[in-house]
Amino acid sequence: MEKIEKTLEEWRAMLDPEQYNVCRLKGTERPFSGKYNSTRTDGVYHCICCNAPLFDSKAKFDSGCGWPSFYEPIEDSAMVEIRDTSHGMIRTEVTCAHCDAHLGHVFPDGPPPTGLRYCINSVCLDLVPR
């Protein structure tokens, strides 16, 4: 998939206000408010901005953090990790490799087999059921 580049105005026109705030301005949704936080539907989660596949539901687990959590992306190349020092913390931001949409953060406190917890905003995702 080729890199997708659009102006902020183009993104604003295609996304709803919350999607735009989170995906393009690096905001976050309130914990436990996202539509995919508790879902168990079998399928593939895609980027809401560019439709790139990001996570398989088989890698989803209940971390109790208030956002959908996954222990691995569908492919390592699906996202980019960026050092994030905002809000007085050191974290690792994850963005879509194809359109640079902010997705959330990854933490080293997840379950086996990876030990990772990709903490992802629901508004960044579109679940395509199998």
User: Which tens digits make up the pLDDT trace of 12-56?
Assistant: 999 999 999 999 999 999 999 999 999 999 999 999 999 999 999
Contact in structure between 26 and 93 (CB atoms under 8 Å): yes
Would you say residue 90 lies in a domain? yes
Q: Would you state the structure tokens that stand for residue 68, as one six-digit string?
A: 């959908």
Q: Does some domain include residue 2?
A: no
Number of independent structural domains in the chain: 1
Residue list, annotated binding site: 47, 50, 96, 99
pTM: 0.94
% of the chain surpassing 90 pLDDT: 93
Which residue positions form the known binding site for Zn(2+)?
A: 47, 50, 96, 99
What confidence score (pLDDT) does residue 1 get?
67
Active site residue 49: no
Chain centroid to CA 18: 14
The boundaries of the domain holding residue 47 are 8-129
Q: Which of 23, 49, 119, 124 is catalytic?
A: 119
Query: What does the pLDDT look like over 84-112, one tens digit per residue?
Result: 988 888 999 999 999 999 999 999 999 99
Q: For residue 32, is it within any domain?
A: yes
Question: What b/e string do you get for 111-127 counting C-beta neighbours within 10 Å, with b at 16 or more?
Answer: eeeeebbbbbbbbbbbb
Do 50 and 124 touch, CB atoms closer than 8 A? no
CATH of the domain at 107: 2.170.150.20
